[in-house]
Structure 1
C-alpha cells in the first residue's frame, strides 16, 4: 500500500511545474520586452533534432490552386474571414486554417458556379471560418452571430450546417492540414528561445502571413516557402546585418529553393508595404440592411452531388495505377 502511495506521489510530482523557472522568465520579460532580439546564431540549437517531424511536414504539405477567375471573390472572402477572426479575437491559426479550407474548397468550384450562385462564396467563407473555429477555438459563437461583419447575405444556421457537410466532403474530411504556421512552430521550437521571444517572433510572423493571405499570389507557394519568407522578412527587420547568415541557415534546414523563397519574400514585402495598416479590424456594417438569406436544400444538395462525384472520380483515377499493379 505504501509503495502504491509513493508511486502516486511521484507521478503527481511529475505534473507540477517549477515556479522558479517561471519567475525567471517573467523577470527577463520585464527587462527585454520592448526589444525582440535573436540569439547569436539563429539556429545554434541542434536543428537536426527530430528531423522525422520535419520530413513528415514536407510530405504532407500541398498547394491549392483555385480558379484564377475567382481571385476577386476569393479576396473578398478572405478579407471577411480576417475581419471576423479579429472581431472575435480568434487565434491567427484559426484564420490561416479557414483560408486553407476555403482555397481547397475553391479548387472544386468554377467561375460559372459563382456567377450562377453569387451567394456561394460568402456562404463558403462563413462555413470555412466556422469549421476552423471549431477545430482551434474553445469558445465558438452561434452560426448566426458569426456573421457580424460586412455581409450581403445572412444565412440560417441549418444552411451553414449543410454547407459544412459539403465542404467537409470536398476536403475529404482532412481538417488538420500542413500550413505555414506548422513550419513556424517547428523552427521556433528548435531555436530554444525564451518563451516571450518565442511568442513574439511567432506572432509577428503570423501577423505578416495574415496580411498577405488575401493576395492571389498567396496560393502560388508551398506552406514551407511562405513560412521561410515570412521569417526572413521579420529577421531583416530585427537583425538586418546578419540577415544573410540567418537566411543561409534557414534554407539549409528547410531546403527550400532560394529563388522561390526570394520571390515569395518580395511578394510579402510588396503587399505588406502597401497595406501596412495592421489587422485590427472592427465591425462596421456601413448601415447595410441585411436579411436572413434562405438557400433551398436542392441548391446545396445538387452542388454536393456534383462535387462528391468529382472527388470520387479523382480518387479512383489516383488509385488506378495501384490496382493495375
Structure 2
C-alpha cells in the first residue's frame, strides 16, 4: 500500500510540474494553518541528527564530481556572452514547450539544459552558425536527455512539435547526436542541482506527503531558475541549496532561518556562497510578481502556452519575502532508446 501511495505521489509530481500554482492563492484558513506547519512536518528532527557516514561520503563524492565538471567546461561563457545567451534562450524556450507537451520529468529537463550549456560552451558551436543550428542543437539535446531518462521516447519527427521553426530529418538529428555525444565525451549523467536535492530528500526518507510536496515545489522552482541563462554561472550545489532555501522561506512564516541554517550545515555550504544565486531567485520572483500585477492575471487561469508563461507559473503564488539577508543580489530516431533509463550518477 505504501509503494502504491508513493507511485501515486510520483505521478502527481510529474503531472503537476507544469501546472498553474494558482490554487495556492486561494487557500482556506485550515490550509493556511497546514502551511504554517509545513516545515515542522518536513523536519521533525534536525537533519544533523540523521547524519550517517555513508551519506557524508556520498555528499563528498557529489562535490568532487561537481568540481571536476566545473574544471572541464567553461560554462560561464554561456552566461557572459550575449550571442550564446540569446541562442540558449531560444533553445530553452522551445524545449520547455516540448517538455510540457510530453510531460517529461524534471530530470529530463535539467539534463537537456545541461547538455545544451556544455555543447554551447564547447568548440563545435560557432558564432557564425546558421539560424537553424540552435534549433538542431535543441532537438538533439532534448532527444538525448529523453533517451537517458524517459521510459517512453517519441520518434525524432514527433519530438519536433510546438512551433518548431525548422523540421529536421531523423538521420540529420542522429548525426548531430553523435557530435554532441563526442563533445560531451559521452558523460551523460552529470551532477546536477537535482543530485543535491535528491540527497536531501533521501535523508528525509520521503515518509510523508509533505516530503513529496517539498520535492515538487523545489523541482518546479529549480526548473524555472535554470531556464535563465544567468543560472549557468552557479554550481549545481549552490542552485539546489538556494532553491530549497527559497521554498522554505515561502512556506515557513515563523522561523525559516533555523531550517535554512540546518540545510547549510548538512550541505556544508556557507550562506555567502549561496547569496548571489538566492538573489537571482528573488529577482525572478519579483519580476514575475510585477508582471502578474500589470497583466492583472486572474486566478485559476489555464496553463499559458508561451515559454515565458511556463517559466513564470511557478512564481504566481510566491511572495517577494526578503527575510533572508542577501548580499550581491544582482545578480526519436528509433523506438529503442540509446541509453537505459537511469537516475544514478556516473561512478
Please confirm whether the aligned pair reaches a TM-score higher than 0.5, indicating the same fold: yes
The structure 2 residue matched to 1:58, chosen from 47, 60, 63, is: 63
What is the deviation of 1:114?
A: 3.9
The alignment yields a C-alpha RMSD, in angstroms, of 3.0
The structure 2 residue matched to 1:115, chosen from 102, 106, 128, is: 128
CA contact (8 A) 1:45 1:192 kept: no
Provide the C-alpha distance between the structure 2 equivalents of 1:42 and 1:166, rounded to a whole number of angstroms.
Answer: 47
- Relative contact order (alpha carbons < 8 A, sep ≥ 6): 1 or 2 greater? 2
Q: Which moved more, 1:193-202 or 1:172-181?
A: 193-202
CA contact (8 A) 2:139 2:160 kept: yes
Provide the C-alpha distance between the structure 2 equivalents of 1:118 and 1:282, rounded to a whole number of angstroms.
Answer: 24
User: Any unmatched runs of 5+ in structure 1?
Assistant: 1-18, 285-325
Residues 54-113 of structure 1, C-alpha deviation per residue, up to 9 Å, x if partnerless? 1111111134333413111111111211111111000011000000010011111488x2
Provide the C-alpha distance between the structure 1 equivalents of 2:254 and 2:239, rounded to a whole number of angstroms.
Answer: 22
Secondary structure at the counterpart of residue 177 of structure 1: coil
**Residue in 1 aligned with 2:327?**
none
Residues 121-161 of structure 1, C-alpha deviation per residue, up to 9 Å, x if partnerless? 11111100000000110111110110101222111111110
CA contact (8 A) 1:105 1:171 kept: yes
**Residue in 2 aligned with 1:46?**
50
TM-score (structure 2 length as normaliser): 0.68
- The question of 1:78 aligning with 2:89 is answered no
Secondary structure at the counterpart of residue 104 of structure 1: helix
- The question of 1:151 aligning with 2:164 is answered yes
CA contact (8 A) 1:144 1:154 kept: yes
User: Any unmatched runs of 5+ in structure 2?
Assistant: 9-29, 293-300, 308-347
- Higher-Rg structure is 1
Q: Which moved more, 1:101-110 or 1:205-214?
A: 101-110
CA contact (8 A) 1:87 1:282 kept: no
CA contact (8 A) 1:211 1:279 kept: no
Provide the C-alpha distance between the structure 1 equivalents of 2:228 and 2:99, rounded to a whole number of angstroms.
Answer: 17
Provide the C-alpha distance between the structure 1 equivalents of 2:249 and 2:111, rounded to a whole number of angstroms.
Answer: 27
- The question of 1:204 aligning with 2:217 is answered yes
TM-score (structure 1 length as normaliser): 0.72
CA contact (8 A) 1:114 1:121 kept: no
**Residue in 2 aligned with 1:191?**
204
**Residue in 2 aligned with 1:230?**
243
**Residue in 2 aligned with 1:167?**
180
The structure 2 residue matched to 1:261, chosen from 266, 274, 299, is: 274
Provide the C-alpha distance between the structure 1 equivalents of 2:236 and 2:186, rounded to a whole number of angstroms.
Answer: 20
Provide the C-alpha distance between the structure 1 equivalents of 2:234 and 2:136, rounded to a whole number of angstroms.
Answer: 26
CA contact (8 A) 2:111 2:145 kept: yes
The structure 2 residue matched to 1:126, chosen from 139, 154, 159, is: 139
Provide the C-alpha distance between the structure 2 equivalents of 1:20 and 1:71, rounded to a whole number of angstroms.
Answer: 45
Distance 1:110 1:139, change over 3 A: closer
What is the deviation of 1:274?
A: 2.3
**Residue in 1 aligned with 2:117?**
103
What is the deviation of 1:44?
A: 5.6
Provide the C-alpha distance between the structure 2 equivalents of 1:24 and 1:73, rounded to a whole number of angstroms.
Answer: 39
Secondary structure at the counterpart of residue 256 of structure 1: coil
What is the deviation of 1:188?
A: 1.1
Provide the C-alpha distance between the structure 2 equivalents of 1:24 and 1:129, rounded to a whole number of angstroms.
Answer: 27
CA contact (8 A) 2:124 2:183 kept: no
